[in-house]
A and B are shown apart, each in its own frame.
Chain A
């Protein structure tokens, strides 16, 4: 009996110490509040934040764990969205087909471009991922059968064997939060595993890994494909939410904003990206009503954060700053 109580207490402590669980609970609470208030806008906001957080978390896995600063993460996001559009035009709308297809397409894109991009380091890697993402942007813009430059509305939201499970904003938000939770758990479990350790070792000291006879290239390629697949899933859900797909989802500004989310929230922990996503969406919501030029505010926040070195909001929350010593 006391053993069970102690077990429950340690479990509770572990849960509280676990920022990921808290964040998911926060999303669930926000969703419940939106549902109770009957606010469609609130639920849509929760869904959008959760999906962007999922994409940012997958990028955080690349930047924070593998040390791969990809400036092209909007590409798999957009590819996932185009999966919904293109499959929908061929009457394929089952979510059990659409989401795996979005994952596979995002992962395949990353695996193919990664074969070239991962041969390089540093600035080169950043620019090459950016260039490949831009390539996909122009390819999408040239698909005249699927809306070309302007994009087009999807034929219909994804279903579960014909059952319209994504009909309302609340339903989409439930799926988005569930996918975010699943994605975070998956990425954190992988980061904690031997595979994650190898990625971090490769980031810190590549020679060490090679001396052990391990090939960082293969690990990085798998990490890149996995993260891009998850971004593809997030993109597919975003397409369902707004009922519309256009090349602008692959605009390089989206890649930049995902990096902003990762770094603002702190790249050391994957859950940091979730905090970053919440901050960016909150900035958007707070500034957009006042001015059409809210990006100016976002830009100023970013520049100030980088210059002041206080960029890591996650660290501020996780580790309270030392109280000033007045002695």
Chain B
């Protein structure tokens, strides 16, 4: 395997990591602040991609479409919180699982009715459509670098918001001591509303960024949200830092595993055995990682509350 291949797989891993981080950030905060399990978070990711794809086609301009799409995703987040989620926050987890599962069925099917089952095209903006020569003989798609930059930028912004603003202070306090924060006169329901809608927008952003790489279809959120759950569990609920570290770790392990495990196995097993076991093992890697982390730290790498 050449060094160019290794570097491009490392970059792919980082890029999957930042996408996962954008999705997991909202999830982990909502878990932290309200002890709320939102299975429908993948729907926000899918809706973000659809909104941006539609608005880009409508305005004919990627940047404008993206901005309008994010605003729409934020508005949808507020609306969904108002209609459904705020009524579930004080229920037991079973009701939350059921209610948010119902939301997935409704929204996925509604999207399928409106846009049809065929994937929607979200073209890469022309400026970023080529690839850049990072060094002699090594080209990397520009759009993937843009995703990387945007993801890291958002991570920095989130770090600033959570650690340096009053709102962030409340979110941090709310994720560890919700009862105390509430007793001090903070409206924890409004805090939840803001965190939820902001998380929905971040998931929408992730969907829009990933849109040109994957196909924009009604079930695109399913796969990503379950990996995002793994990220949240490994990182520890309520911890932005944990989500970031875990997202990078899992993005790397998944990408590198898929790229290199079959080759590695071929060195130890026969060719046919490796061809069978390789894909199976590489798709199990992140779950095995999760199991390993949890058997050492049942509440995740940066989890503070006992689970």
Contacts and interface: CB of A to CB of B under 8 A. Distances in A.
The judgment on whether A and B are partners is yes
Interface of A: 63, 69, 71, 113, 115-116, 119-124, 126-128, 130-132, 134-135, 138-139, 141-145, 252-253, 256, 259-260, 263, 267, 293, 295-296, 298-303, 305-307, 311
B297 to A, nearest CB: 10
Interface in B200-256: 222, 226, 229-230, 232-233, 237
Given A122-B93, A124-B307, A263-B98, A295 B109 contact: yes
Interface string B269-284: 0000001100110011
B254 to A, nearest CB: 11
Given A119-B298, A123-B37, A252-B226, 19 more contacts: A69-B93, A113-B291, A116-B291, A119-B295, A120-B299, A123-B35, A124-B299, A127-B230, A127-B232, A128-B290, A252-B222, A267-B94, A296-B105, A299-B107, A300-B106, A302-B102, A302-B105, A303-B102, A307-B88
A303 B109 contact: no
Given A69-B93, A145-B276, A299-B106, A138 B98 contact: no
B103 interface: yes
Given A116-B294, A132-B287, A259 B98 contact: yes
B266 interface: no
A145 B272 CA distance: 11
6 contacts: A71-B97, A123-B37, A124-B299, A135-B287, A142-B283, A300-B106
A305 B110 CA distance: 19
A138 B298 CA distance: 24
A144 B273 CA distance: 12
B219 to A, nearest CB: 9
B215 to A, nearest CB: 15
B226 to A, nearest CB: 5
Contacts, number: 138
B-side interface size class: 35 or more
B99 interface: yes
Contacts of A122: 35, 93, 307
A139 B283 CA distance: 7
Contacts of B233: 124, 127-128, 131
Interface string B101-124: 111111111101100000000000
Contacts of B91: 306
Contacts of B177: none
B108 A302 contact: no
Interface in B126-170: none
A199 to B, nearest CB: 16
Contacts of A260: 98, 101-102
B298 A120 contact: yes
Top-3 shortest CB links A-B: A299-B105, A302-B102, A299-B106
Interface in B17-69: 31, 35, 37, 39
A138 B284 CA distance: 8
B105 A295 contact: yes
Given A127-B232, A299-B104, A119 B294 contact: yes
